[in-house]
């Protein structure tokens, strides 16, 4: 399938491209791109002072660059800004960043030539992905620069397991190295494509995780004999929230027809908060998700290049502004990281209630022979460690601050750092939920003789047992945990049987 870009991309579009979908541009979009390139050509001809076109960048913005040196300025920006360090970003992350960058150029206010976008599209189409180090950027510059290196035949790229120099990568996909023109070096490292792309991909992961969080919680609720009255539609409506209503409905549907739940009705006045407040914690995360999604879509609809060009070749306008700064994205990434850290901490608490014989009513640590077997004792340690790491990762990046470029850039919002941190929280949350899923299935093994499960939880249990057998201290539990996490990452929760 090929996505068609006319006006702007959505976060779902960027996530789909990240996962392998192709991208094409409409004729109207190519016309906008060409028009902006003509404006830049005119600015160069007239010698109008314009940031990054006829001047240096950052603290060198008052230094005029003569026409003969403008192409060298573009090339030099790419080399000097490619300062990334650390492990490489995953393939999907780089594809998401490139997609968001093409979306920014497509608004027609950057001034890069169509051939630049054509080459970026070719990288996506052939899945020839630049090597982009994950660390070293206070905003976006280093990540974008490493992508741009490949366009000029420098840097490195990968396709599958094969590694190519930038020049060889272009030859492999039938392209030639570009000679960047005026402003193109600056545009290629500029804008919020890095944080926007990473956040769009994080939204896709988070949407999937939120559905799994509701489903896995149902296994635990059923094993714990939860009091479902707390989740009645009318009761939850006393606190108006789209997220709370959505989660409450998901719990009721998946647990409908459970004989285990029916047998537990009235056993307790109320459940512990890690059970009773699932709609509130999961629902709060869903409400915040909607806000973040709207912000990312607004960012994708925005011009985030500095300077922006407009007007016409006959009457060119160049506008220096701060659209490349993205405090809104940083705040959104930080907020969603906090919500998912809270959600995963609740999952760990539910897991503890499954393995703790003081409250579970089940064999200690879900072991079939407690004493000679430890069961899920240490798996709960692992979940606690990951939940604690998420608490640390939930500290906001958006308030870090910092001063760069000789006092010229004396406010930093750190949206890319916030987005990368969000992905790390998602990694941990997936594993914590996977451990709860394993423990929930094990608890149901021990409850099998008491009463039948709900059809909705039976579907979950059957999925788990189709992949992973019951645990009896007969193999490394880490392997089961990795398999359960892969299941959560790669599959959607099974539908509730009608």
Q: What is the DSSP string of 81-116?
A: H---EEEEPPHHHHHHHHHHHHHHHTTS-S---HHH
Are residues 430 and 341 in contact, defined by beta-carbon separation less than 8 angstroms? no
What's the angle, vertex CA 105, arms to CA 54 and CA 187, rounded to 5? 35
**Segment 319-341 mean pLDDT:** 94
Q: What is the pLDDT of residue 69?
A: 67
Are residues 211 and 185 in contact, defined by beta-carbon separation less than 8 angstroms? no
**How far is 445 from 465, CA to CA, in rounded Å?**
10
Helix axes 193-223, 278-300, angle to 10 degrees: 160
Q: What is the pLDDT of residue 241?
A: 98
Q: Tell me whether residue 51 is one of the annotated catalytic residues.
A: yes
Are residues 37 and 112 in contact, defined by beta-carbon separation less than 8 angstroms? yes
- Tally of CB atoms within 10 A around 22: 14
Are residues 126 and 158 in contact, defined by beta-carbon separation less than 8 angstroms? no
Helix and strand element counts for the chain (H, E): 20, 9
**How far is 112 from 151, CA to CA, in rounded Å?**
13
Least confident range from 73-77, 183-187, 277-281: namely 73-77
Q: What is the pLDDT of residue 211?
A: 98
Are residues 429 and 209 in contact, defined by beta-carbon separation less than 8 angstroms? yes
pLDDT digits (tens, 9 = 90+) for 133-176: 999 877 678 999 999 999 999 999 999 999 999 999 999 999 99
| All domains of the chain in start order, with CATH | 2-190 (1.10.275.10), 199-490 (1.20.200.10)
Percent of the chain with pLDDT over 90: 82
E strand intervals along 278-418 = 308-311, 316-319
* pTM recorded for the entire structure: 0.95
**How far is 364 from 356, CA to CA, in rounded Å?**
6
- pLDDT-derived band at 91, boundaries 50, 70, 90: very high
Calculate the alpha carbon distances from 252 to 92, 240, 263, 280 in Å. Answer: 35, 17, 16, 15
Q: What is the pLDDT of residue 202?
A: 98
Least confident range from 19-33, 90-104, 300-314: namely 300-314
pLDDT digits (tens, 9 = 90+) for 215-268: 999 999 999 999 999 999 999 999 999 999 999 999 999 999 999 999 999 999
294-320 core/surface letters (b: 16 or more CB in 10 A; e: else): ebbbebbebbbbbbbbbeeeeebebbe
């Amino acid at each position: 399938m090929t996505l068609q870009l006319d006006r702007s991309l959505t976060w779902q579009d960027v996530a789909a491209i990240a996962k392998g979908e192709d991208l094409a541009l409409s004729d109207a979009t190519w016309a906008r791109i060409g028009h902006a390139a003509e404006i830049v050509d005119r600015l160069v001809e007239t010698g109008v002072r314009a940031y990054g076109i006829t001047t240096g960048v950052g603290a060198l913005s008052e230094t005029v660059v003569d026409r003969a040196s403008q192409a060298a300025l573009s090339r030099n920006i790419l080399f000097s800004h490619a300062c990334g360090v650390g492990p490489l970003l995953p393939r999907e992350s780089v594809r998401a960043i490139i997609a968001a960058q093409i979306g920014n150029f497509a608004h027609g206010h950057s001034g890069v030539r169509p051939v630049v976008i054509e080459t970026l599209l070719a990288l996506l189409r052939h899945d020839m992905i630049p090597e982009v180090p994950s660390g070293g950027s206070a905003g976006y510059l280093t990540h974008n620069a490493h992508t741009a290196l490949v366009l000029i035949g420098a840097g490195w790229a990968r396709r599958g397991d094969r590694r190519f120099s930038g020049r060889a990568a272009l030859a492999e996909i039938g392209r030639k190295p570009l000679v960047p023109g005026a402003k193109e070096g600056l545009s290629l490292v500029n804008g919020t494509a890095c944080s926007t792309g990473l956040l769009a991909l994080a939204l896709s992961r988070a949407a999937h995780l939120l559905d799994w969080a509701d489903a896995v919680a149902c296994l635990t609720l059923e094993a714990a004999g939860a009091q479902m009255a707390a989740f009645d539609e009318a009761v939850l409506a006393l606190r108006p929230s789209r997220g709370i209503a959505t989660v409450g409905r998901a719990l009721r549907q998946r647990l409908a027809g459970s004989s285990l739940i029916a047998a537990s009705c009235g056993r307790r006045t109320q459940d512990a908060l890690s059970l009773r407040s699932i709609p509130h914690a999961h629902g709060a995360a869903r409400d915040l998700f909607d806000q973040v999604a709207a912000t990312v879509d607004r960012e994708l609809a925005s011009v985030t290049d500095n300077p922006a060009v407009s007007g016409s070749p006959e009457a060119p306008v160049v506008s220096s502004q701060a659209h490349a700064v993205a405090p809104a994205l940083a705040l959104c990434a930080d907020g969603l990281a906090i919500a998912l850290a809270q959600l995963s901490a609740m999952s760990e608490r539910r897991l503890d209630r499954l393995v703790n014989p003081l409250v579970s009513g089940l064999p200690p640590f879900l072991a079939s022979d407690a004493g000679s077997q430890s069961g899920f004792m240490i798996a709960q340690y692992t979940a606690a460690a990951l939940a604690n790491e998420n608490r640390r990762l939930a500290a906001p990046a958006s308030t870090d601050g910092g001063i760069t470029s000789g006092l010229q850039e004396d406010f930093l919002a750190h949206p890319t750092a916030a987005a990368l941190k969000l992905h790390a929280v998602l990694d941990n949350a997936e594993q914590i939920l996977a451990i709860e899923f394993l423990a929930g299935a094990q608890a149901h093994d021990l409850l099998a003789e008491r009463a039948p499960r709900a059809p909705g939880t039976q579907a979950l249990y059957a999925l788990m047992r189709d992949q992973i057998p019951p645990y009896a201290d007969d193999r490394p539990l880490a392997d089961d945990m990795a398999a359960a996490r892969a299941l959560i990452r790669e599959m959607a929760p099974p539908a509730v049987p009608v």
